Amino acid sequence: SVYLDVSSIGARRRVMRGALLLACAASASALSWGALRSPFSKHVLAPGAASPAVLRAPVPAVSRSGIASVSAVAELSRKSSTRKGKDDAYRADLESRMWSYVRERGGDTLIRRVLIANNGMAATKTIMSIQKWAYKTFGDEHAVEFVVMASAEDLAANAEFIRRADEFVEVPGGPNTNNYANVQLIVDLCISQNVDALFVGWGHASENPKLGEMLKRKSVELGRTITFVGPTSPVMRVLGDKIGSILLAQKAGVSTMPWNGDGMTADLQADGTLPQDQFDAACIFSIEQAIETANRIGYPVMLKASEGGGGKGIRKADNEEMLRIAYPQVLTEVPGSPIFLVSYCSGARHLEVQVVGDKHGNAIALGGRDCSTQRRFQKIFEEGPPLIAPDHIFDQMMRQAVDLCRSIGYQSAGTVEWMYQPADDKFFFLELNPRLQVEHPVTEGITDVSLPGTQLHVAMGIPLYNVPEVRRFWGADYDGVGEIDLTHFKPSSEYPKHVMAARITAENPDEGFKPTSGKIDRINFQSDTKVWGYFSVVADGGVHEFADSQFGHLFATGETREEARKALVLALKELFIMGDIRTTVEYLGELLETERFKMNTIDTAWLDGLIRDKSVSVEAAPMNAVINAAVYRGYKVIQDTIASFKGSLEKGQLSTLALRELQSMPFELTYKDVKYSFTVSPKAPDVFTLTLAPSGQEIEVRTREQADGSLYVAYGSETHQLYAKEEPLGLRMVLDGVTVLLPNVFDPSEFRSDVTGKLVRYLVDDGAEIKAGQPFAEAEAMKMLITIRAGEAGKISHALQAGSIINQGDLLATLELKDPTKVKKIFPFEGTLTYDMPAAAEETTLQAFRSSRKALELVMDGYVIEAEPQVQKMLSALSSIDLVISELRGAMAGLGNKLPAELDVSLQAVLSRAATEHVRGEDTAEVAVLVAATADKIAAYIAKQPPAKQTELKPVVAPVHAVIDTYGRGLRENAMAVVAALLERFMSVESVFAGQPKDVALSAMLKASPNNLDSVYSTALAHEQLKPRTSLAVTLVRSLYTFPERFGVVKAAGPPQELGVVTRIAEMPGSEYKELALVASQFERFQSEKPFPEVVSELKAELQAAGVDSTAVSRSVVTNALLALFEDAEVATAAMQVAIKRFYRAYDILQMETVTREGGVVVTEFKYKAADKTQGDAPAPVRYGQLAVLPDLASVGEAIPTLLQSYDPEDTSMPVNVLHLALRKSIDTGAGAEEATVAAAQAAVQAAAEQLKAKGIRYVSVMVPNPPKWPRIFAFTSNKEFAEDLQRRDMYPTMYNMLELDLLQNWAPVRLPAISHNSVVLLGQQGTKPRVAQRLFARGVTHSEGMDSAEVAEVALLKALDELQLAFLDKRVLPTASSYLFLHVLPPIARSPAELIKGFEEIMAGLITKHATRLLKLSVDEIEVRVHSEDAGGKRQAVRLMATSMGGQWLKTDGYVEYLDPVTGVTVAYCALEDGEEGMCYIEPYPVASELSAKRAVARRIGTTYAYDFLGLFEKGVVSEWQGGLAAGPRDT
């Protein structure tokens, strides 16, 4: 056998048609409906018995499983066999039990097979109710089989009733006159499908008396019994007609409202009909007659179609003009129906009595309902019991309703409707609906009586008093049989619960509740003990234009009305529906929360009043709407671009243009007449930045697409759930449960449809003049007539013909605008968008590491993120012990209760001690101790446990051991591994492209992975951003140079294993990798790192071979290695003298001698003076100094007086001399060791203060070895009474002066961490909040030669920018801080000042152009380079080279020669050179913040560029473009 699964109803239909053709081909006999009926039907229909109507559409009933897939012919056969084989004996027993049930209760007909001539809610609810009853009664929900009619539209919409039915028959699509209201078709199907009964539900043909009559006549002709479930046709004709029911009510003396038939009566004839003349007398036949009646009874009035219902065929008119418009609308909505006019009852409530009658003359009232919440006379909420009416009043309503039913022999379920006026307790008869109403589950909820089930019992001839659920409601035995008193009416106050219902409709509350149609992607609803609901469609279904707008119903119950209301509110909040349609869900929730509804003081006009006044609305906050709309469109733009690129790959198109455009894509949206312009830039697979023009505001957004197609959106501190869809009329979103529409901006001269349906007619002639707001057309949508109004005034031109099928967005008419200047305009948004921002929180070291590493990984993956700050943040974290402590704590926390408490306490103590005793700069050594102590604690604990427990514990502590293993190699080694991983990420992409054209590489990837386009896309995306990725790789390789200083370790012995990737990078071919390969090659040469002992040994060899003078200017000298040689007998003197020459390189060393003093103390004495020109060539004083090597800190106190005895300066009149003490013993380790060292040294120095002053000593330094790191240096100055000068700590003796730090005192600088020991970074601040001005000063010295070359200068600039990058990570630095760079070049340059200045201007112009973006981001406002020009005679002149923005132009270059104060060494004059000659001289120390810098700070604060800076950037950009063009060479023409 063959099994074919088909997952959609539309596909099923095609399969069934194919199956039918196969069946025809295989059969020699003529096709007959009897042969294709259900294989388990009771009756056999002879061939040819089907009517012509059926033969014109020969589609058989299809047996179905009730799940959302159907099989073809073989599956149908299999299912039929299965159900037959359930087996025949079971089926016979079931039928016997059902007959016994019916006969025991006085019935005479068994109904086993039912046709439902309806769709949507009616069909769904009927099947649900009767299947529930069948299962409870007979244990088989399929005891009654259901055949349903299925139009093409319902099949395509995946309608729920089709899924629930046992079988379906396809019927013609289109309006209901083709199908569910086609009486002939329904009767023919009843016969052809061999059914026992016909259920009609509500709507369609449910109130058409011709249906029952024709069915009865056909049944008699064929000798069949097919029961119509409903009242008899004569009674339906008279009561189903509103006019007839009012006439009968007046005949019975029931109170009615004033209408056109006042005082008229009708005589019920023997056949249950009314005389035609009496009926016609009560009808309206013309608009003039309607106006005459309205004038008589007074406005407002209601114009009604007698056969209307469900809000159709009913209009309110407040005046004659409205009545003239309403008349044709009512005629159109219910074609052929008689019309009548009744007075509008103001302030009234709409109450209903649920009645049921049987053929035995019984009639009952099953309580009532309050349906007063209506919109355009269509019910919105229903509730029961109706508490607004006193018990005795509603008792009268029920009694009169039952009497009326009995008097006419009413059978089946019906509803008597009343208008009740609470003010005077009067009530008026409205109509009797001879059918089940959509709100009947409210009655079921309060009475526990199934109305479809009761209808079935009545149809089988069972008296009402023998229906089990009816008996229970009247307090009788549920399973009993026999008459009971049905004349008692249960008061509303005695019901133990209240039920409230809400209709879920496909209508747009923002557009006057216009019907909408289309696909439904998702319905999310969960029933509970308080709420239940049902829907006529399911996910992937829909609501078509010929369906009723209602597709769902929710019911909430509670002990009180208020409890039921709250339960319904919560249910509506939880209900989610997404698709092409609009719904009223959110609006209903708001209605339930209004005060009048809560207090139950509404009337039938209440809701229409709210709609008219727009006093209830459901809106998202405008800013939320705009941002989330931008999020969706930005997300969609990115995804569409990616999809387009992949689609191109599938076609063999290898262009990566789409990926280049992906980095910055513009789009616009309009909301409430304001246009917003955005640019979207992806920052990660799930992150992008929205940039708003023109403000430049950036919003970082994180998104995640859920399985249901929704977007989880996060930005700032806000999170949202967003469903969105682009529709013909614009973007529709469901934002956190609230629907938001951003309409497209249409031409005001075009009128477009906002509904799907049929254009009924134009209300104005083609070419006529119309006014804004005037109705110009009518459309029919979902059985409703919709008025379409003009948006502007002018002359109209029709675009379609009446009767045309229209969709949303279709052009209906064009307009020649009367006054184009008055048309509403769209203005661009010029501000910033507001949203909740997270509270400022400082990142932990672990968070900083993870976030920066992730950011750098994303850069390597091709996303545009500023990399430099992330590099510094990552390296700063990697060099901190806090990272290791956090990693260990995180691993322990992840174990939870698995980690033994004793071990947890022990490990926590180790970590706490490490954090408490941490000494700045000792991270590497402390981490080694920490990981060892942690490992020891774990090992010791496990060793104490029994063997079995030890085995269990080892995998438990594995996560902690993983951290120990990571950092056990050392902080630097771990950092190398992290950097290497990032470089490997770079190489994994570029190894694909290196050495071959891009298209060849892409083609090769496609061949290798034809089914993995995601991999090809991600690789191509990364390569497309080669330039920033290469720049990051260069930065990472450069950072490796700083590792020995950054981590305080010696160079590794040989190339580190982790950095093998650098070797591969150095070998990369191609000009695009040239710079990176060069940097990698240079690092490889630098990589010949040596252990500290080897460095000391080599320095010793250099001292022995080259001597003091040569070694002193050698770039390879490591100062901490020099200190290690101070006690080497062979080179101690040379080492000390080299140290002095390097410390005082900017001075002239006049004399130097090393001697051994008393006690074996080695002392180097030296005399020196300033080398640069002084003001007026005044002679500089000769200064004197000593460098003494002492055994340890304890010896300092005794050594100073001894040293001073031989201290012999030339000048003691002023403090110009120095004393340096170098200790052989290192500083103690541990917390507090540094403070103790400083205190001891300071005490020793201050004890000799008077003696020091007498010798003219201004500066005493104590140098403590700290191998392999830079020695610790503590300075004690005379101007501080020889207390420690913290600003000079860890600076070698002359560094403070060479960095000119005294000039920064106006800014009260605070020292920040720096990468290099030759650099100092300070944060200066002036003013108080909110007007705080900050400056970052990155100042350094260099011993490098060749600073007059572009290559060496660029290296120095990049190192300074790295220092700034690290500084900006400090939480104390404001984003508005400006930056100032200063570099003091110590080696003299053999060029004239004029040559130096000119060369500087050329070099600096190139560097600023090349690095303009980074300079601007780091807010660099000034760059100073102090160099020393040396002539042939060895005379030196200090030259100040500057690039400054202080004059306005951004980083304008200049140069000055300097003249020093001979005593202080401070520059006292800066003289410009004009044509090689000195011009104007002036003094300019660092001033307080100027007005210019304040304006620049304001610009930075708001995230923009200061105007003067922009001009500079523009200049650099033009130069850069020219340079690129020149480098590329001439273009071929």
Which residues form the catalytic set?
A: 435
| R_g of the chain computed on alpha carbons | 47
Compute φ and ψ for 438, nearest 5 degrees: -60, -30
**How far, in Å, are 507, 569, 586, 879 from residue 574 at the CA level?**
19, 9, 10, 50
Q: Give the number of C-alpha atoms closer than 13 A to the C-alpha of residue 1406, restricted to the C-beta side.
A: 12
Q: Residue 1437 pairs with which residues in a beta bridge?
A: 1429
One-letter identity of residue 455:
Q
Q: Are 1438 and 1152 in contact (CB under 8 A)?
A: no
Q: Are 721 and 524 in contact (CB under 8 A)?
A: no
- Separation of alpha carbons 602 and 474, rounded Å: 32
Which residues, at least 6 apart from 398, have a Cβ–Cβ distance to it below 8 Å? 353, 365, 367, 368, 489
DSSP-based three-state secondary structure for 1375: coil
- Separation of alpha carbons 976 and 671, rounded Å: 51
Q: Write down the residue that tokens 């809000």 correspond to.
A: 311
**How far, in Å, are 567, 1128, 1192 from residue 1162 at the CA level?**
93, 11, 14
Structure tokens given for 988 = 């994994």
Pairing of strands 1333-1342, 1378-1385: parallel
Which residues, at least 6 apart from 1526, have a Cβ–Cβ distance to it below 8 Å? none
- H or E stretch at 623: helix 622-650
What single DSSP character describes residue 159? B
- Separation of alpha carbons 1520 and 1444, rounded Å: 20
**How far, in Å, are 247, 262, 337, 905 from residue 256 at the CA level?**
9, 9, 21, 86
Q: Are 500 and 561 in contact (CB under 8 A)?
A: yes
- Separation of alpha carbons 783 and 1400, rounded Å: 84
- Separation of alpha carbons 540 and 159, rounded Å: 9
Q: Are 1304 and 1337 in contact (CB under 8 A)?
A: yes
Q: Are 496 and 486 in contact (CB under 8 A)?
A: no
Q: Are 911 and 967 in contact (CB under 8 A)?
A: no
Q: Are 1223 and 1192 in contact (CB under 8 A)?
A: yes
One-letter identity of residue 1443:
A
DSSP letters, 1444-1469, are: E-TTSSTTEEEEEEEEE-TTT--EEE
**Residue 34: closest CA among 92, 42, 590:** 42
Q: Are 450 and 441 in contact (CB under 8 A)?
A: no
Contacts 24+ apart (CB under 8 A), 50-55: 50/188, 50/191, 50/192, 51/184, 51/187, 51/188, 51/191, 51/192, 53/184, 53/185, 53/188, 54/185, 54/188, 54/189, 54/192
Most distant CA pair in the chain: distance in Å? 147
- Separation of alpha carbons 342 and 305, rounded Å: 11
- Separation of alpha carbons 764 and 780, rounded Å: 17
Q: Residue 1513 pairs with which residues in a beta bridge?
A: none
